[in-house]
């Protein structure tokens, strides 16, 4: 059975739902089951945390340096400023992620509205 073998209007949505679930949730559940016995200080757990942090940093860097869509229309200095100011707000607010994201978003939107 392939993606194009069924000619129903709902089929693409079912295909995406199943493929999306298998690609993400299956591995999440497997990670939970396999990681139950790992200590938070074990080398394997430290490695996995480091890789996850590096992936998040890479995605953020890509959004800042090589954006797409309407973010590509903004200046690099504005994107960098929003990230730095958001990070400073995150630290000053006691490492609250929502505060850092909110402040960075406000800086970005204010810069876009001002034509910067």
pLDDT at 104 over 80: yes
Reported as a single tens digit per residue, the pLDDT across 23-82 is 788 888 888 887 787 788 889 888 988 999 999 999 999 999 999 998 999 999 999 999
Identify the residue with better confidence: 41 or 93. 93
pLDDT at 17 over 70: yes
pLDDT band at 109 (very low <50, low <70, confident <90, very high): very high
pLDDT of residue 3: 53
Which residue in 31, 68, 70, 33 sits closest to 51, CA to CA? Answer: 31
List the domain boundaries for the chain.
68-116
Instruction: Count Cβ atoms within 10 A of the Cβ of residue 82 and give its class: 0-12 exposed, 13-18 middle, 19 or more buried.
Output: buried
3-state DSSP of 18-51: HHHHHHHHHHHHHHHHHHCCCCCCCHHHHHHHHH
Residues 6 or more apart whose CB falls under 8 angstroms from that of 67 comprise 74, 79
pLDDT of residue 86: 97
């Amino acid at each position: 059975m392939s993606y194009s073998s069924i000619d129903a209007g709902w089929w693409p949505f079912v295909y995406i739902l199943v493929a999306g679930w298998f690609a993400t949730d299956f591995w999440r559940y497997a990670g939970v089951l396999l990681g139950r016995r790992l200590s938070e200080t074990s080398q394997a757990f430290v490695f996995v945390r480091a890789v996850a942090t590096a992936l998040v940093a890479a995605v953020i860097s890509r959004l800042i340096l090589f954006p797409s869509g309407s973010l590509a229309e903004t200046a690099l200095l504005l994107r960098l400023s929003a990230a730095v100011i958001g990070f400073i707000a995150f630290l000053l607010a006691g490492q609250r992620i929502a505060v850092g994201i909110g402040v960075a978003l406000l800086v970005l939107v204010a810069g876009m509205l001002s034509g910067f």
